[in-house]
Amino acid sequence: ITIFFYLFSHVIIALYFRTIVAKGYYFPKDMHETELDLFANEINKREKLIDSVYKITDAAMNLNATDLARDKS
């Protein structure tokens, strides 16, 4: 039992010191936000491109369907 409490106390103390060291770490928030904005803009551009491809594909399929219907009659 003594060994368990000894090891447990050392683990708790090690985790406590690890959190103290982690609090001192500086996170570059501004740089991170600008990078995320760039990624979001790139995703929006790609979504617009995909939407336009879907519209062109639908228009081509409709045109093809009308041509086939016209050819059958």
Locus of tokens 């010191």: 17
Is residue 36 scored above 90 in pLDDT? yes
What percentage of the chain carries pLDDT values higher than 70?
88
More confident residue, 17 or 59: 59
Domain ranges in the chain are 2-72
The 8-class DSSP code of residue 73 comes to -
pLDDT in the model for residue 73: 64
- Residue partners of 64: CB distance under 8 A and separation at least 6: none
